[in-house]
């Protein structure tokens, strides 16, 4: 077995290594712009002219990768630390924490896009749930001015231990309503500019709909315009005035939020996430980037500022179809008859294992056959106080935990899941041994130095293309989520979900350059850290690499393509993983059962 995601340096050594002499000549500013959920296949001169201009004039990373599981918080953790998921432990948006989180209704399976929940995680895991220093925290300690603005959850991730408002500027959905406090200086600036000190809500954009009511039909313009105003009128001018180098993150909720909630396609797979609401959300994010670039120009900062563009993951349209699921054969008041309900994995396992099903998000209340849990999460067992199996439902993939490490139970779970038509690939914690039809979690970089509990089983769901010219722009995935068929989701090992967008422009990067080498969100964290010469010590070995080939004078290394296959299980299933290797770094393209994962053909 290959040791994937091996280190570029020993544990405890600093991340800094030599970069091109050009990049070392002067200390630059860095702005990281994250367009949440943006698919590269929908970016062109018409849909996103500002992004297209950046990708054309600067560096376009054409072979880029999301971290798997391809969820927001997992990728935010990798971008902010430069480490793979096995080190930082943010395995998905919803994770298992062992102890109940008070600000999540005492749930042991909290959805962690929340400032209060992140604060509790720090308290629960020795003051730093990531167990790795973030680039923003390290930059702040080195005297840089720092700020993070945008979507609730990933924004705070970049400096989650700085909660008093005077260290880093943190502006997100909860600003002014119990979130991270505003510094007196920033509050005074906002007031003088006539800007509110309370962030607006998503308003109509926050309407997700239900099984008979469509979701939103508008992009997240109001909230993001506020974030842009704060950024361009208050924060960047303040940084300019103080005449010190700065690092800033702008995390655009669009197109992700609008694609999730869009009401263009209720219960229908077409147009799915390619309807007018989703396209308006892409343009909204593009307008935000254009405004930031214009502010940088107007402030005379272009010559000293690098702008890096990425998305945390790709996106797919939700399918809730299954012919094998017991859960889909039941009737529920909040589900279209015949479609998969939220929490179908937990319900199918409870039925097959003859275990009771409890809802960890509702004080472990018993979930009856004709009802669903609040968020799809589940604890299974003979009673509510002793869970034998925990299911963290996330979307395009789910996490399962078996506290007893009972390999007989694990084998039964694998057999049950592999028999379902919604399953396409299973990965198992190395501590449990090898099982036919599955690959070890170490093979996808999920075993490392994390202090947060590591899952025992990761199940990937079936995905496919709707047949457009670029399959990654019209992917469909089965999703274990409360959203409806036809709305949007991600998180699978489909190439539609693992392909993100990446680009960069500024004095540290080449101009008019297409980088065809494999890159990932972990590489962004490493690259920013080393461009800023940050002496960050590491606890884990699962790191990205410095993107030297994208810098003036940088060498261009060589990558290879590799395929890893499991043994065949009793039902004839094989989990296949395709990845690219560049030196000691591994980039995961696609995985699952052949012909059941988009991007993975018959074998």
Query: How long, in residues, is the chain?
Result: 603
- How many whole angstroms separate alpha carbon 163 and alpha carbon 119? 9
- How many whole angstroms separate alpha carbon 457 and alpha carbon 443? 13
Q: What is the pLDDT of residues 443-478, one digit of tens each?
A: 999 999 999 999 999 999 999 999 999 999 999 999
Q: Is residue 78 within 8 Å of 525, Cβ to Cβ?
A: yes
Mean of all residue pLDDT scores within the chain: 95
The DSSP call for residue 530 is: H
Direct distance between the N- and C-terminal alpha carbons of the chain, in angstroms, rounded to an integer = 21
pLDDT at 82 over 90: yes
pLDDT at 173 over 60: yes
Rounded mean pLDDT, 548-556:
95
Q: How many CB atoms lie within 10 A of CB 476?
A: 26
pLDDT at 94 over 50: yes
Is the N-terminal amide bond of 63 cis, ω within 30° of 0? no
What integer pLDDT is reported at residue 140 of this predicted model?
A: 97
Q: Is 56 in a helix, a strand, or coil? A: helix
CA 146-537-540 angle, to 5 degrees, is: 115
Q: How many CB atoms lie within 10 A of CB 3?
A: 11
Report the candidate in 81, 65, 154, 68 with the shortest Cα–Cα distance to residue 111. 154
What integer pLDDT is reported at residue 26 of this predicted model?
A: 65
Domain at 16, CATH number: 3.40.720.10
Rounded mean pLDDT, 300-317:
98
Unique residue bearing structure tokens 């560049």: 582
Q: Residue 504, CB half-sphere, CA atoms under 13 Å: how many? A: 27
Rounded mean pLDDT, 430-455:
98
- How many whole angstroms separate alpha carbon 403 and alpha carbon 57? 52
Helix axes 521-531, 72-81, angle to 10 degrees: 30
Report the candidate in 80, 63, 65 with the shortest Cα–Cα distance to residue 118. 80
| H helix intervals, 193-343 | 221-229, 236-242, 256-261, 276-298
Both tokens of residue 30?
Answer: 């860095």
Q: What is the pLDDT of residues 480-537, one digit of tens each?
A: 999 999 999 999 999 999 999 999 999 999 999 999 999 999 999 999 999 999 999 9
Both tokens of residue 15?
Answer: 């991340």
Q: Residue 511, CB half-sphere, CA atoms under 13 Å: how many? A: 3
Rg of the chain, C-alpha, whole Å: 23
pLDDT at 23 over 90: no
Range of 453's domain?
A: 1-603
- How many whole angstroms separate alpha carbon 552 and alpha carbon 50? 23
Both tokens of residue 140?
Answer: 């702040």
Cα 145 to the center of its chain, rounded Å:
26
Using 50, 70 and 90 to split pLDDT, how confident is the model at 19?
Answer: very low
pTM over 0.85: yes
- How many whole angstroms separate alpha carbon 88 and alpha carbon 128? 10
- Beta-bridge mates of residue 116: none
Query: How many domains, in total, are found in the chain?
Result: 1
Dihedral sign (CA 113, 114, 119, 124): negative
- How many whole angstroms separate alpha carbon 76 and alpha carbon 90? 9
Q: Considering the chain, what percentage of its residues have pLDDT values greater than 90?
A: 93
Unique residue bearing structure tokens 């089983």: 457
* C-alpha distance from residue 581 to each of 3, 501, 565 (Å): 11, 19, 16
Q: What is the pLDDT of residues 400-423, one digit of tens each?
A: 999 999 999 999 999 999 999 999
pLDDT at 574 over 60: yes
pLDDT at 50 over 90: yes
Unique residue bearing structure tokens 């298992």: 96
Using 50, 70 and 90 to split pLDDT, how confident is the model at 24?
Answer: very low
Q: Mind giving me the DSSP string for 255-292?
A: THHHHHHB-SSTT--SSGGGSHHHHHHHHHHHHHHHHH
| H helix intervals, 44-183 | 49-57, 72-81, 85-88, 115-124, 135-141, 154-157
Q: Mind giving me the DSSP string for 94-117?
A: B---SSPBGGGTTBSS-B--SHHH
The DSSP call for residue 327 is: G
- How many whole angstroms separate alpha carbon 214 and alpha carbon 264? 7
């Amino acid at each position: 077995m290959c040791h994937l995601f091996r280190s570029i340096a020993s544990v405890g050594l600093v991340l800094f290594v030599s970069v091109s002499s050009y990049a070392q000549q002067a200390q630059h500013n860095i702005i990281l712009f994250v367009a949440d959920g943006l698919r590269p296949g929908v970016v062109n001169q018409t849909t996103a002219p500002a992004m297209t201009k950046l990708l054309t004039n600067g560096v376009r990373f054409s072979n880029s990768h999301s971290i798997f599981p391809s969820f927001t918080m997992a990728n935010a953790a990798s971008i902010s630390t430069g480490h793979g998921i096995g080190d930082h432990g943010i395995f998905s948006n919803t994770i298992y924490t062992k102890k109940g989180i008070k600000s999540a209704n005492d749930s042991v399976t909290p959805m962690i896009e929340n400032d209060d929940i992140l604060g509790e995680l720090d308290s629960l895991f020795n003051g730093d749930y990531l167990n790795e220093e973030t680039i923003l925290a390290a930059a702040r300690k080195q005297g840089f001015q720092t700020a993070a603005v945008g979507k609730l959850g990933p924004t705070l991730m970049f400096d989650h231990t700085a909660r008093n408002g005077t260290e880093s500027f943190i502006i997100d959905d909860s600003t002014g309503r119990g979130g991270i406090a505003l510094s007196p200086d920033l509050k005074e600036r906002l007031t003088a500019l006539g800007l509110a000190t309370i962030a607006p809500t998503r308003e109509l954009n926050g309407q997700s709909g239900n099984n008979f009511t469509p979701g939103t039909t508008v992009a997240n313009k109001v909230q993001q315009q506020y974030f842009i105003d704060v950024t361009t009128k208050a924060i960047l001018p303040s940084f300019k005035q103080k005449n010190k180098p700065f690092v800033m993150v702008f995390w655009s909720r669009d197109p992700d939020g609008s694609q999730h909630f869009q009401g263009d396609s209720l219960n229908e797979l077409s147009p799915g996430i390619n309807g007018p609401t989703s396209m308006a959300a892409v343009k909204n994010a593009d307008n935000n980037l254009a405004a930031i670039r214009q502010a940088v120009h107007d402030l005379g900062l272009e010559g000293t500022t690098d702008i890096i563009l990425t998305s945390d993951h790709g996106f797919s349209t939700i399918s809730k179809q299954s012919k094998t699921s017991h859960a889909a054969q039941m009737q529920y008041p909040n589900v279209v008859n015949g479609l998969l309900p939220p929490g179908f994995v937990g319900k199918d396992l409870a039925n097959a294992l003859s275990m009771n099903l409890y809802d960890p998000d509702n004080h472990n209340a018993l979930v009856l056959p004709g009802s669903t849990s609040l968020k799809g999460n589940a604890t299974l067992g003979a009673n509510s106080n002793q869970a034998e199996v925990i299911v963290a439902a996330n979307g395009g993939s789910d996490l399962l935990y078996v506290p007893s490490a009972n390999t007989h139970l694990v084998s039964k779970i694998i057999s049950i899941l592999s028999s379902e038509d919604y399953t396409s690939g299973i990965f198992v914690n190395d501590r449990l041994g090898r099982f036919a039809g599955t690959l070890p979690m170490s093979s996808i970089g999920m075993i490392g130095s994390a202090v947060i509990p590591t899952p025992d089983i990761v199940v990937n769901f079936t995905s496919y293309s709707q047949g457009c010219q670029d399959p990654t722009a019209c992917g469909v995935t089965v999703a274990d989520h409360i959203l409806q068929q036809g709305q949007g989701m991600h998180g699978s090992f489909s190439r539609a979900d693992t392909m993100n967008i990446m680009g960069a422009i500024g004095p540290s990067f080449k101009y008019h350059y297409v980088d065809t080498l494999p890159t990932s969100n972990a590489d962004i964290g490493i690259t920013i850290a080393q461009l800023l010469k940050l002496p960050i010590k590491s606890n884990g070995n699962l790191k990205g690499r410095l993107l030297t080939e994208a810098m003036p004078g940088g060498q261009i290394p060589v990558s290879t393509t590799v395929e890893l296959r499991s043994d065949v299980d009793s039902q004839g299933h094989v989990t296949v993983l395709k990845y690219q290797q560049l030196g000691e770094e591994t980039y995961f393209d696609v995985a699952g059962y052949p012909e059941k994962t988009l991007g993975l053909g018959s074998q």
